[in-house]
Amino acid sequence: LESNRVIAIDAMGGDHAPDAVLRGANLARKRYPNTHFLLFGDEGTIEKGLSRIGMRGLRQVSTVRHAPEVVANEDPPVVALRQRRNSSMRLAINAVAEGEAECVVSAGNTGALMAMAKFVLHTLPLIDRPAIASFMPTARGESVMLDLGANIECDSDNLVQFAVLGEVFAATLLGIETPSVGLLNVGAEDLKGNTTLKDAAARLRDTELPIVFHGFVEGDDITAGTVDVIVTDGFTGNVALKTAEGTAKLLRSFFRDAFMSSFLARIGYLFAAGSFRKLSQRMDPRRYNGGVFLGLNGICVKSHGGTDAIGFANAVGLAIDMLKQDFNSKVSDHLTRLSSAGPRSGHEAAAG
């Protein structure tokens, strides 16, 4: 059972579990040879899945851990936290807390996963709340956006901490030396009253972190790639992410309609099909799979619930890359620099 890296997998999480999860782990196993998989879930079901053709390789580098319960998609976080203590999700997270595994990947219920991960793993020192981050495709390549829904309301300390999490993520995962960071806002002329954003901006402007603080950005700056890291509260980030996904879906359907709308256009499609297949790959949502939970005392990656084996393998890959790059110690290092540079906001210092 000895190997370089141990990863805990919630084998029962997601719409196509355990099939997509196991096939995804099997793909990841080929890409990352020195990895051992702890597979949490119903033992019989997982063993059956592993006994299929092509799964022998995964079987050899895996340990199956029986979990009698499953977190349902409908379970509210509080219910999952209190009543699903023997679920595949919870036991997989426990494995990280107990030092058995170095990271956990699940395609299950996001709210439950966040609640459990927060409760079991706790946040890193100097981080008040974890955030959900993801890559966004842009005109210039890829950016990082956070928070995508973990925290509905945020104060300026949260936003500053998210900025640190985001810049370290962009630096380590996208290889950008001094990432540019922007705070998501509306047109500057309407800024009255939003002191949270102004406070956060003032503190990021003065920071000694290795970042370029760009200031405020607007919704259209996300896909323009104006900055490498977009920082926002979880309400706005979640709406922006889903609005972008919905708009992309609408435009793809408009384009499909245009190609199907006439005989000539269909012929045109035959000629252009190769180029559009490449475009599909470029926009493949599986490339952007995985909402990473940043700020926890342990690596936790959430795969899209509806993803297939390729998407799940990408989520596993992301977790392993974060381990390799020693993500959390870099975050702690930057947080220390931030706190030594000056006190936190007066409001928070008094409150907390």
Q: Which of residues 18-47 bind a second copy (CB under 8 A)?
A: none
Taking the complex as a whole, the smallest distance from the CB of residue 127 to a second copy amounts, in Å, to 19
Out of 54, 99, 175, 274, which residue is the one contacting a second copy (CB under 8 A)?
A: 274
Taking the complex as a whole, the smallest distance from the CB of residue 180 to a second copy amounts, in Å, to 17
Q: Of 20-28, 58-66, 87-95, 132-140, which part binds a second copy (CB under 8 A)?
A: 132-140
- Considering only residues 279 to 298 of the shown chain, the ones binding a second copy according to CB under 8 A are 279, 282-283
Q: Which residue has the tokens 């609408």?
A: 250
Taking the complex as a whole, the smallest distance from the CB of residue 125 to a second copy amounts, in Å, to 25
**Sheet holding 229-231: strands in order across?**
62-66, 35-41, 5-10, 103-106, 299-302, 291-294, 131-138, 141-146, 229-231, 180-184, 212-217
Q: Which residue has the tokens 């996963």?
A: 113
For residue 99, how many other CB atoms are within 10 A of its CB? 9
Taking the complex as a whole, the smallest distance from the CB of residue 22 to a second copy amounts, in Å, to 26
Q: Which two tokens stand for residue 80?
A: 């999952």
Q: Rounded to whole angstroms, how far apart are CA atoms 259 and 253?
A: 10
Taking the complex as a whole, the smallest distance from the CB of residue 219 to a second copy amounts, in Å, to 3
Q: Of 11-19, 37-45, 147-155, 325-333, which part binds a second copy (CB under 8 A)?
A: 147-155
The verdict on whether omega for the bond into residue 18 sits within 30 degrees of 0, i.e. cis, is yes
Nearer to a second copy, 212 or 305 (CB): 305
Q: Of 95-103, 207-215, 255-263, 319-327, which part binds a second copy (CB under 8 A)?
A: 255-263
- Considering only residues 191 to 210 of the shown chain, the ones binding a second copy according to CB under 8 A are 191-194
Nearer to a second copy, 2 or 271 (CB): 271
- Considering only residues 148 to 187 of the shown chain, the ones binding a second copy according to CB under 8 A are 149-150, 152-153, 184, 186-187
Closest CA to 154 of 300, 7, 323, 295: 295
- Considering only residues 57 to 96 of the shown chain, the ones binding a second copy according to CB under 8 A are 76-77
Instruction: Say if CB 328 and CB 125 are below 8 A apart.
Output: no
Taking the complex as a whole, the smallest distance from the CB of residue 347 to a second copy amounts, in Å, to 17
Instruction: Say if CB 312 and CB 149 are below 8 A apart.
Output: no
Q: Of 49-57, 85-93, 96-104, 109-117, which part binds a second copy (CB under 8 A)?
A: 109-117
Q: Rounded to whole angstroms, how far apart are CA atoms 46 and 285?
A: 27
Out of 157, 167, 221, 228, which residue is the one contacting a second copy (CB under 8 A)?
A: 221
Q: Which two tokens stand for residue 229?
A: 């890291």
Closest CA to 144 of 217, 204, 247, 251: 217
DSSP-H helix ranges across the chain: 19-31, 43-50, 56-60, 77-83, 88-97, 110-121, 156-173, 195-205, 219-224, 234-260, 263-282, 309-324, 327-341, 346-351
Taking the complex as a whole, the smallest distance from the CB of residue 271 to a second copy amounts, in Å, to 3
Residue 303 sits in the site that holds a second copy (CB under 8 A): no
Q: How many amino acids of this chain bind a second copy (CB under 8 A)?
A: 72
Q: Tell how many helices (H) and how many strands (E) occur in the chain.
A: 14, 11
Out of 9, 159, 227, 241, which residue is the one contacting a second copy (CB under 8 A)?
A: 241
Nearer to a second copy, 35 or 134 (CB): 134
For residue 177, how many other CB atoms are within 10 A of its CB? 7
Nearer to a second copy, 178 or 276 (CB): 276
Which residues 6+ apart lie within 8 Å of 44 measured at CB?
Answer: none
Out of 276, 329, 333, 349, which residue is the one contacting a second copy (CB under 8 A)?
A: 276
